[in-house]
Structure 1
Amino acid sequence: MLEVVMQVIRPICTADLDSLVKVARASGHGFTSLPDDQLVLMQRIEDSVAAMALAADYHFGQQNQSYLFVLEDLASKQILGTSGITSAVGLNDAFYHYRISKVVHSSPTLGIYNPQEVLTLCNDYTGATEIGSLYLTDQARGSGLGIILSKFRFLFIAENRHRFNTRIFAEMRGVTDDNGHSPFWHWLEKHFFQLDFPTADYLTGIGKKSFIAELMPRFPIYICLLDKHARKAIGQVHPNTEPALAMLKREGFSYTGYVDIFDAGPTVEAELKQIACVKASQKLSVAICTRNNDESVPLKSALVCNTKVSEFRAAKIECWIDDIANRLMLTTKQAKALNVAQDDSVRILVIQS
């Protein structure tokens, strides 16, 4: 039996504000990109709407654009999740990371060789494209929707690659306890900030980052000087983030020694052309058809995206592919959900079972 399209990914709009506020509150501490602040969230929506409205031939340049999407249940009209893309970080304000590097203290005369790892504050990702704001509500977890909500971004970027950098990265949520406290930040707070993690995280989320440059240590931090709990947290992810990290690694993302300045969660990156689902995706034209219930014609499960921007739609569907004609066969209902018509182009990623 052909499954009906139940959920669709689309650009966020101003009518989604209340739902976005609920997502921000549910996401908890450490989810910096969606702070629990209605004015900031409204600005995020407006920024995304403006980015989506740019001319189709808009090219990536020295200006950041923010794209925010929602996963909508078509029957209930509920928002089940969010996902975002930032085209070029650090152009409007400084974007910080800690880079882990090594220094060596040695004395050949005394026969002493002592390598040490240090954390150095940097802006190395300035201009790179960030994927983030990925959140799935409790009711939608365990359904496989999280993978779709993550992967569609790569297809959107691939289809509109002139809008983005080829260097793509994602910050993984670091280790925090049930009260939102980070062991890594606890050490920094004690010695430099006198500002708890939830407060620092919130200030960053609403764009008030000046305290970082004012209070952050100006010289490299020797990791060996941190307490054992802070050291252990470096490069580790929150348990809820482990599936997302595993998925990104399967796509070709790797950890290159950069961590978040607040919770020390790892940052992973990949070149766009090396991302697995980008390489596996293909462009097809749409053919609207009526299913003839011929069970000999195999169905394929696929993530399908239209090639529009402000009217973008993506969904996981069961469909038929005519490999000879390079056509994607859709029912009328599927085409409507994807906002496509006869002979329109789509980008498709077949999902292997």
Structure 2
Amino acid sequence: MRQFIALAFNSSFKEELVHIMDSLKEEGIEGKYYDSDNLHMTLAFFGETDRQDEIMEIIQSIPFPEITITLNRIGHFKKIYWVGIQDNPILNEYVNTLRNTLQAHDIPFDDKPFYPHITILRKAVEGDRTLQEVSTKDIKVELLQAHYLEEGLKYLPYKEQEVLEAINQIYKQKGHVTIAIDGRCGSGKTTLANKLKAYFDCHIFHMDDFYLQEYQRTKERYNEPGGNVDRERFKKEVLEPLLNHQDVLYRPFDCSSMSISEGTLYPYKPINIIEGSYSCHPELRDAYDITIFVDIDETLRLKRIEERNGKEALDMFIKKWIPFEEKYFSSFDIQNHCDFYFKAGR
């Protein structure tokens, strides 16, 4: 199992890299393009290692500085295409510190000189290109592991490997697993759910599809911690059928018509993921085998919400939705009741 420390990027930055790959495809350049989930920048490559916990301690011991990564060119070496970045002394200094610390702990890694780049294509031959510059500050350092699935190679952070192992273990014991992913808005709950779906044949159900119906929108209801979702309907229409190994008639709330849609029948599957804030409400929690809390730095959270929803929506989140979430998290101590804790950003 190949393992390496890498910079991981947010979805919008990966979309820019996908646009770059699409432009190469339009030019007729064929080859083995990277899956968007696998895009990263390698900082230290280990190959096979059984010292993951020591490596994670080293990563956590070295503060990750405020860094802006700016793409500025496409290059190639033999049959490999990569995207290069502007010269970044801060990144170089961080990588030197990281590698020196690994050496000090006698942890072997490939000590070739660090040339910052993001590989996007293999088995192709063409010339270098310039790029319109694209930047991001939304970066984090991960210890990644390579996994070979039916649909191809996937890279998964080491800490998420623990979740995979837990799911597999419970599935072997019980024959079915229900996972809840709760956490702050913009923290990557949906992204994590989709990553897990790449590994398992499962359904994903979203708490955002269970807005309150009009008759429920009372002052008393909104004053309840976690009261601004229709957990009663979610429990009846999703959780109870899953617990009884039955199909689910999934009926999202349609905000455009302010009504519940006719829905889609989801044939029963033994592995299911419940994604979204309020999914770990005490009235729902007993239905889950695994619970996960995804956190995020406040500055990064607001930045992501604005990028995703726009400035006007950000104001609504700040005034209404974020206070609702925080009241729910603190009232029920959601984070400390979850089995796993992840944090987006630094």
TMscore range, shorter length: under 0.3
TM-score w.r.t. structure 1 length?
0.22
TM-score w.r.t. structure 2 length?
0.23
